[in-house]
A and B are shown apart, each in its own frame.
Chain A
């Protein structure tokens, strides 16, 4: 059975902290792994990863994929209150996308 598991389920940090969110998967016909940010509405796209070992970076956010160990991490440095959201990981197979349950991040001032 295809599945995507995210950890931790929730996280509370102080502004300025660095956080690492984890996503592991067991999916046949892997094509891509995507990270989304969701703030009480539709998910917004952050990164798409298809190759191992190549870091994707956007400002304070970065992500990397390990296709051998079947996981990805999303790093957020110098967190701000605006980073508070649910972060979703999804794995695409070409036909479907399998989503994890998400990590709820709360950043307190």
Chain B
């Protein structure tokens, strides 16, 4: 089955801890994206990557970090520097030359 997987579905962490969210795709897409969604709001771009070993900051990159060592994988680390980390995190990918994004199922992170 081709698609995007995110794990875990729900994640709970204590304040001050770093946490890494997983995103894997087997669609052979070059571009991958991380978004954050807060209740009643649209999606805000955190980071995106057009190619392996390269990534760019989105609108709200502060307190987050990413890596893109493999085409299939684009993990997101939420660091302790992120002031309000509790949110729904969505990963997406897009084929080169394509105009449509495909979303993973999301990870709901709660930090207390």
Chain A residues with CB under 8 Å of chain B are 4, 6, 31-32, 34, 41-45, 48, 50, 88, 90, 92, 95-102, 104
Contacts and interface: CB of A to CB of B under 8 A. Distances in A.
A4 to B, nearest CB: 8
B99 A50 contact: yes
A48 B44 contact: no
B41 A41 contact: no
B101 interface: yes
Contact of B101 (A4, A97, A101, A102): A97
B17 to A, nearest CB: 25
Interface of B: 31, 33, 35, 40-45, 48, 50, 58, 90, 99-106
Contact of B48 (A90, A95, A100): A95
Contacts of B101: 34, 90, 92, 97
Contacts of A6: 42
Contacts of B31: 95
Nearest to A47: B100
23 contacts: A4-B42, A6-B42, A32-B100, A34-B99, A34-B100, A34-B101, A42-B90, A42-B105, A42-B106, A43-B103, A44-B103, A45-B100, A48-B99, A88-B43, A95-B31, A97-B33, A97-B45, A99-B42, A100-B42, A101-B40, A101-B41, A101-B42, A102-B42
A99 to B, nearest CB: 4
Given A45-B102, A102-B42, 4 more contacts: A34-B101, A48-B100, A92-B99, A100-B42
